[in-house]
């Protein structure tokens, strides 16, 4: 990709990563937070009508917004990011991937100052997985652990932003499943659909994805087939499903 046509140049600490056979290009920091396959799996899990307003809370480099824009052409996209450096990266990535999206710099704890109540039809979150941890950089630490916002902060923000019957989509580690479901229900976000992610067919699920609906009645939950990431974890050989996803998203199910 020629960045010059966008009047952009890579900084010395950045690289340009093609994704999904070049359908997507993402500028990332060489050191620090970098997106992983979780963003693609969550984008695949999202299942919505093709109109309305969607926000990605903690948008990072903007990868989820960009992936969802390939899948849903008529949505209005918004993103919120607390880290200034990642916010600036997301703006660049939105530009070079020809996406129209409104990005705001701010903390999910302050959404009442940033957006109107019940403004969105859909909220997507890939919140920090860990309460604490050791990381190579402050940027990665903030993105992956609860330094500036907790899981409850993300869910509370989702409740505030969503219209009644609006949908929340989230990915998280399974060790926080009961906590996540308890917090969601306390904010009237009723879990309706789950999919568990296993590193291999012989290993327990390490992550789960959930779709919840605001102010929905209890009951009617569905659990989709397990998503197996690797046929051979040691060799990092992906399953046919994940390989097809990496090659052909969003047409992989057609």
- Work out the pLDDT band at 148, boundaries 50, 70, 90: confident
Token pair for 108: 């999910």
pLDDT tens figures, 34-86? 888 999 999 999 999 878 999 999 999 999 999 999 999 999 999 999 999 99
Query: What pLDDT shows up at residue 223?
Result: 98
Residue 135 has pLDDT above 50, yes or no: no
Q: Which residues of 27-65 are buried (b: 16+ CB within 10 A; e: fewer)?
A: bbbeebbbbeebbbbbbbbbebeeebbbbbbbbbbbbbb
pTM of the model: 0.92
Q: Which residues contact 68 (CB under 8 A, 6 or more apart)?
A: 43, 46, 54, 56, 75, 77, 124
- Work out the pLDDT band at 141, boundaries 50, 70, 90: very low
Rg (CA), the chain: 18
What's the CA gap between 241 and 95, in Å, rounded? 30
pLDDT tens figures, 186-220? 999 999 999 999 999 999 999 999 999 999 999 99
pLDDT tens figures, 154-169? 999 999 999 999 999 9
The rounded mean pLDDT for the chain is 91
Closest C-alpha among 146, 224, 217, 150 to residue 185:
217
CB distance 161 to 55 below 8 Å? yes
Token pair for 187: 């904010």
168 or 28: whose pLDDT is higher? Answer: 168
Full DSSP string of 55-79: EEET-TTSHHHHHHHHH-TTEEEEE
Domain 35-248 superfamily per CATH = Vaccinia Virus protein VP39 (3.40.50.150)
């Amino acid at each position: 990709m020629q960045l010059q046509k966008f009047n952009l140049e890579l900084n010395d600490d950045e690289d340009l990563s093609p994704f999904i056979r070049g359908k997507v290009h993402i500028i990332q920091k060489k050191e620090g937070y970098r997106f992983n396959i979780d963003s693609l799996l969550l984008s695949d899990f999202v299942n919505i009508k093709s109109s309305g307003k969607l926000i990605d809370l903690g948008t990072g480099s903007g990868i989820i917004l960009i992936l969802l824009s390939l899948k849903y052409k008529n949505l209005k996209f918004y993103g919120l990011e607390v880290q200034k450096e990642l916010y600036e990266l997301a703006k660049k990535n939105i530009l070079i991937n020809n996406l129209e999206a409104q990005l705001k710099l701010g903390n999910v704890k302050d959404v009442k100052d940033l957006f109107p109540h019940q403004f969105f039809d859909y909220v997507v979150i890939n919140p920090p997985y860990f309460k604490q941890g050791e990381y190579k950089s402050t940027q990665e630490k903030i993105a992956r652990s609860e330094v500036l916002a907790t899981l409850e902060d993300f869910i509370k923000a989702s409740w505030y932003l969503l219209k009644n019957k609006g949908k929340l989509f989230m990915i998280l580690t399974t060790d926080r499943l009961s906590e996540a479901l308890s917090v969601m229900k306390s904010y009237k976000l009723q879990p309706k659909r789950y999919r568990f992610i296993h590193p291999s067919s012989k290993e327990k699920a390490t992550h789960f994805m959930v779709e919840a609906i605001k102010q929905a009645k209890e009951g009617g939950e569905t659990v989709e087939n397990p998503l197996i990431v690797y046929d051979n974890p040691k060799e990092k050989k992906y399953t046919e499903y994940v390989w097809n996803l990496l090659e052909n998203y969003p047409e992989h199910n057609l």
